Every structure is written in structure tokens, then in C-alpha cells.
Amino acid sequence: MKIPTEPLTREQIMRQLATYRTPDLDIRGGRVFAYTYTPPTDVEETTKQAYLEYLSENALDPTSFPSLVAIEREVVRMVASLLRGDDRVVGSFTSGGTESILLAVKSARDKARAEHPEITRPEIVLPKSAHGAFHKACDYFGLQPILVPLDRATFQVDLDAFRQAITPNTILLVGSAPQYAQGVVDPIRALGQIALDRGLWLHVDACVGGIHLSFQRDLPGWPHHDFDFSVPGVSSLSVDMHKYGYAPKGASIVLYRDKSYRRFQIFSTIASATYALVNANIQSSRSGGPIAAAWGVLHAMGQSGYRQIVDSSMQATQKIVDHINQSKHLRVLGKPDVCMFSIASETINVFELADEMRRRRWYLQPQFSTEWTPMNLHISVSNANVPVVDEFLFDLDQSVEALSTRSPLRIEDIRHQVITMLEGATPAEAMARLSASAGFVDGQLPEDMAFVNSVLEAMPREMGAYMLAEYLNDLYV
């Protein structure tokens, strides 16, 4: 493919983009229970206008666009106040939760380098339920993740195991508010005390729930949790605006107890023949659009708007959870603290359930098993899902009924097939056979994903991760 010889008209361009979107998930009909968080229509229009107003401004150089500095400072200060930070708390606007987590981990690593040069193999202690971005940070920054088991009933981190995992090489402790998989908040106050006792940095990953939990705290009838800067021992937090803050994608905040922590986040050099480079973020050039949109959504929603959405989302969540827990075939794992949870089954293959729901134009997110959890489907309830809960539950019942009348895909049978398939194969042959059996053809996925997910569930996790990386490598040019 080459750049067109002559320019296309605006109408031609938009028409072509519309054709590309045909197979995409419908993010505004409330039928997607992951990935997207759509605010009320009037708020969305306001944030779009704010985004476009600053689309071309570049946040790289604060001296060139001081208005962006002012807007970012206000966004950070509003979020810091919401998370009960005092005037010493500082932060930075980032592109998303992964960047916020990367920056916090990088800062903790560099602080440890400066203050504890004797640590040559730094370790991070984190729950098994912590987000994969922490593993990514360890891979990027040369750190060792030390994984801590979960309580089998609550899915919170096991505190005794957490304490035992700390060694002289530990530079960072991690807790989640909530962890994504089951929507459960770790015991942050207890983790904060461990951090204080050991003189260690505690980062709380509140990317998905920080804003929601903060407003949920003001509402009667729902769980309340202390997870923010009101907890002694919390050194930093990551909070996404583009999840339950309802800002457009590309908006997150990383917060620090004071400037002495954030100083290790900043990169600065004048060693190049080019201009002086100083960045608080991983990115250098970055559009001002997400910053302005985040500012816009905070003002367009207001505290009352957030409280209303949090309350209605929690009511919808409770209705779904109660309905599922009355099912003969499904159950909710644990007791979720927010409007997100996961469902499992002993009688049907939940990956097949995801396909059945996809045929009815719903999306539920598959999650693989761990030592503490069976394979399951994740559900995040947000503003767009609230009006269609009854329709969702009807289709869920119909899907379960359809699956209950036929034999499910059995993971043990598939595992046996995988073992047989890999006998005597070279790594290249093994990958080719696995890809073919799973339905990966020329970088494309099959329409039904149950068998693919079941194959990934059946194989060793390292092999599954390698297979996904190979698929992604083939998917893009």
C-alpha cells in the first residue's frame, strides 16, 4: 500500500474510516463490559470539544504552552484532593495506567539506587492479582517481581505471605484498589503499616477504581475503603481518568506523597547536540488534547454527576451479581467492592459463554485460571451499561441455557491434544502447529474464540505468552 497520489476529500476519508469500524465493538450501546467507559452524551460532546481545542498543542515544552501547564496542574490538584492528598502531594499527567505504573516503578528503582547502592538485584513485592503493567515495568527496568498468593475466599493479598516475601532486596511494595480481575480492594491500611515498619515505598494501583471508590465513599449502602493518601505509608498512587473518570483515552495521573519521590521520575539531559530534553513523562512530545479533555470532564461532571453515575453503576452491578448467584451454572468469584467482578462455572466452559454472548452482540472479557481462581469472564459495569441490564441478563440466561444442553469444551482434553501435538516438534514447528490448531491464519483470529482461549488455558503460561507475542508480531506490518 502506498500514500494516495492525489488527496482524498474529507467525505471520502470519513467514509473509508466508517467501513473500517464495521467489525468493531459497539461502545455506546452498553453492550461492552470492558475497555470503554462512556459518559453521558452531553459530557462526551464537551470533552470532545475540549480535546480538539488542544489537539495540536505540544506538552513537551512547558515554556511554549504555559496554558497546558496551568490545565495539568488543575487536573492533578483536583484528583489529588479527591484522593485526600495534602498540599505537599504532587503528580503528573500521563497517557494511561501503564505509563503511570511504569513511572512509579522507575522512580522507586532510582530512589533505591541513590539511597541503597548495596542493592544490586532489586525486587518488587506484589500480589498475584496486581496488574500486568508491573511485570512490564520489571521487564523494562531490570527488576525482579516477587509474587504473593491470594486469600482463596476474598482474593485479597495474603498479608502473612506478603510480609514473608520482603527481603533486603525489596525496593517497592504494591497493593491494588481494586485489583482488576475480581474487583476486590487489597487491605491497603495493613499494607501501609508494613511499609512504615520496613521503611519501604508502597504504591497503590488505583488506576481502575481511584475515582469511583472516592465518590463511592460518600454514598450510603456501598463498601467504603481507605486506600489513598489518608493511609499512612502510601507513597504513590496511579489513577486513571479515562476509566471511571470518563475522560477520553490517553488520560491518567501518577501521584506522589511529596516532590522528593517525584524527583526520581524526571529525566533531564543537555548532553545531545539537539535541544535540552527534560521530561516528567516517558513520552516527550504529547498532545494537549487528553489533558484538556480530562480538565473538561471534571468540570462537566462535577461531584454530583460522578456520585449519580457511581450510585447507578453500583445498583446495576448488584442486580447482575444477585442474578448470577441465583444461577445453577454460574457464580460470582468473591465479593466485589466496586462495579466490576468475574464469573465462573463448574458446568459450562465460560469461554464458550463469551462466544454465545458475542453472537448476541455482548462482550465479556475472558480471564485465564490461576492457582487461586478458575478460568472466568470479567465484567466491568459503567455508565453505558446501566440502561440495558435487563436485556443483558435475559441474553445471559438464554446463552447459559443453550450451552447447558451440549457437552462443553474440556480443558483436559485440549491439554492432551496440545501435549500430543508438541511431541518431537522443534520450537518453530510447535508454534506453527499450535497456531494452526487455535485458528490463527495470516494474523487473523477465528470468529469464535472459545477454542483459542481454551488452548491458551491448557498450555503452560510461558508458552501461551510466547504464542500471543508471535501472533501480535504477525498481526502488524
CATH superfamily of 303-404: Aspartate Aminotransferase, domain 1 (3.90.1150.10)
Distances 176 to 54, 200, 420 between C-alpha atoms, Å: 33, 17, 40
The mean pLDDT of the chain is 94
Q: Write down the pLDDT at residue 473.
A: 83
pLDDT at 399 over 80: yes
pLDDT at 239 over 90: yes
Q: What is the mean pLDDT of residues 113-133?
A: 97
Q: Write down the pLDDT at residue 185.
A: 98
Beta bridge partners of 380: 340
pLDDT in tens, 139-189: 999 999 999 999 999 999 999 999 999 999 999 999 999 999 999 999 999
Look at residues 12, 234, 19 and name the one whose alpha carbon lies nearest to residue 108.
234
pLDDT at 465 over 90: no
pLDDT band at 460 (very low <50, low <70, confident <90, very high): confident
> Among residues of the chain, what percentage have pLDDT more than 70?
98
Q: Write down the pLDDT at residue 441.
A: 66
Q: What is the mean pLDDT of residues 409-428?
A: 82
| Dist CA 368 CA 414 (whole Å) | 15
Question: 26-58: string of b/e by CB count within 10 Å (b at 16+)?
Answer: eeeebbbbbebbbbbeebbebbeebbeebeebe
What is the C-alpha R_g of the chain? 23
pLDDT in tens, 273-318: 988 899 999 999 999 999 999 999 999 999 999 999 999 999 999 9
pLDDT band at 443 (very low <50, low <70, confident <90, very high): low
Q: Which of 52-66, 342-356, 436-450 has the lowest mean pLDDT?
A: 436-450
pLDDT at 208 over 70: yes
Domain ranges of the chain: 49-297, 303-404, 413-475
Q: Write down the pLDDT at residue 233.
A: 98
Q: What CATH architecture is 49-297?
A: 3-Layer(aba) Sandwich (3.40)
Q: Which three cell numbers stand for residue 141?
A: 527496568
| Dist CA 203 CA 172 (whole Å) | 7
pLDDT in tens, 317-328: 999 999 999 999
Q: Write down the pLDDT at residue 55.
A: 96
Question: 398-420: string of b/e by CB count within 10 Å (b at 16+)?
Answer: ebbeebeeeebbebeebbeebee
pLDDT band at 72 (very low <50, low <70, confident <90, very high): very high
Q: Which residue's C-alpha cell is 518488587?
A: 124
**Side-chain half-sphere CA neighbours of 297 within 13 A:** 29
Q: Which three cell numbers stand for residue 223?
A: 463498601
Query: Treating both helix axes as pointing N-terminal to C-terminal, what angle do 427-438 and 450-458 enclose, rounded to 10 degrees?
Result: 150
Q: Write down the pLDDT at residue 47.
A: 97
pLDDT at 434 over 80: no
Q: Write down the pLDDT at residue 348.
A: 96
pLDDT band at 206 (very low <50, low <70, confident <90, very high): very high
pLDDT in tens, 11-66: 999 999 999 998 888 888 899 999 999 999 999 999 999 999 999 999 998 889 99
Q: Write down the pLDDT at residue 366.
A: 97
Distances 157 to 113, 135, 165, 321, 381 between C-alpha atoms, Å: 28, 17, 12, 22, 24
Q: Write down the pLDDT at residue 464.
A: 83
Which amino acid does the sequence have at 463? M
Residue 348 and residue 403 in contact, taking contact as beta carbons nearer than 8 Å: yes
> Among residues of the chain, what percentage have pLDDT more than 90?
81
pLDDT band at 107 (very low <50, low <70, confident <90, very high): very high
Q: Write down the pLDDT at residue 474.
A: 78
Q: Write down the pLDDT at residue 98.
A: 98
Q: Write down the pLDDT at residue 468.
A: 84
Q: What is the mean pLDDT of residues 250-258?
A: 98
Q: Write down the pLDDT at residue 442.
A: 66
**Cis ω for the linkage preceding 178 (within 30 of 0):** yes
